[in-house]
Amino acid sequence: MVTAERNGYGPYRFFWKALWKLHTLPKIRVFTWRAGHEILPTNEKIASIRQDFDKGCPRCGAKIETLLHALKDYPTSHAVLSLGGWSKNTILKKYDHCIDWLEDMMRVLDKKAMADLMAILWNYWNNRNNFVFREKEEEAKIIWERASTLNNEFWIRNFINEPLLSQNSAGMKWEKPPKGFTKINFDAIVGENGFGYGAIARDDEGFVLGGGGGFIGSRLSVEETECVALEESIKIACKLKINERVIFKTNHVGLVNRRRNLASDVTLIGARIKTCITEFSNFNSAKLTWTR
């Protein structure tokens, strides 16, 4: 671990120069810079410049709300990181300063994964502020899902630490559907000149029933391409004459959230999803769910 004086973080400058170039929203980049210099207004920071201010954590009652506590060590933060596939050893590892933790993460995460981590922390910091100013705190899953919509193909991977690699591999393993169900996994990917999509159907024993895919030379949003993949998945299921109970699986949480809020969705893509749900009547039972 690199040690350095905390007045200016001079030896850390090249770390934050690299972080500043991450492909994230401008406001997340500003948050990243402020987090790296530990100038976010935690109760400890406010108490250092304001007399008689309580420096304890307003949410859990810890004696001191440091930035490390606010972003990493608070229980909800542990839960959010657990949703990302982090091992308990990594989540519970102790640090003296938030910069030490973030530097450690930069040594094991690639550029894309580090950008995704900062998107999580930015959403988590906003959740902390909602509690302080509005007395409203959201569940870990909601924070995770909101963060995941900010980045395409959102996922945090660890490429160096062996315990994380082995745990993530097990967590991402395909699971059989319940007895009597057929699972159809579908996905889409956006390229420079269009997008591709694919789907594969398996029964409750893991036997592949069929699948398909294709490429369309049109520029659409990620959410629209996922909707096309869902439409094609339904067509594949009908072509395979699957009329039993079906689970359509996607890793795009925005599509699932739209499904849950169709009653108030008046967008064009909302109308397309409604059509898909109507076509679910071709099956004895059908549902759309999210998978990591």
Q: Would you say residue 11 has pLDDT above 50?
A: no
Each residue's pLDDT tens digit, 65-120:
999 999 988 888 888 888 766 667 777 888 888 888 888 887 777 777 777 788 88
**What is d(CA 195, CA 113) in angstroms, rounded to the nearest whole number?**
23
Side-by-side strand order, sheet with 285-290? 208-216, 195-202, 181-190, 245-250, 285-290
**Which residues fall within 8 angstroms of residue 91, CB to CB, at 6 or more apart?**
72, 78, 81, 82
Six token digits for residue 73: 């060590």
Domains of the chain in start order, with CATH, are 10-171 (no CATH), 181-290 (3.30.420.10)
The full DSSP string for 154-168 is: -----SS-HHHHHHH
DSSP bridge pairs for 207: none
Question: What pLDDT does 21 receive?
Answer: 53
pLDDT beyond 50 at 203: yes
Rounded Cα distance between 256 and 235, Å, is 19
Q: What is the pLDDT of residues 138-177, one digit of tens each?
A: 888 888 777 776 654 444 444 443 432 334 444 456 788 8
- pTM of the prediction? 0.48
CA dist 63 → 6, 74, 121, 157 (Å): 22, 12, 22, 33
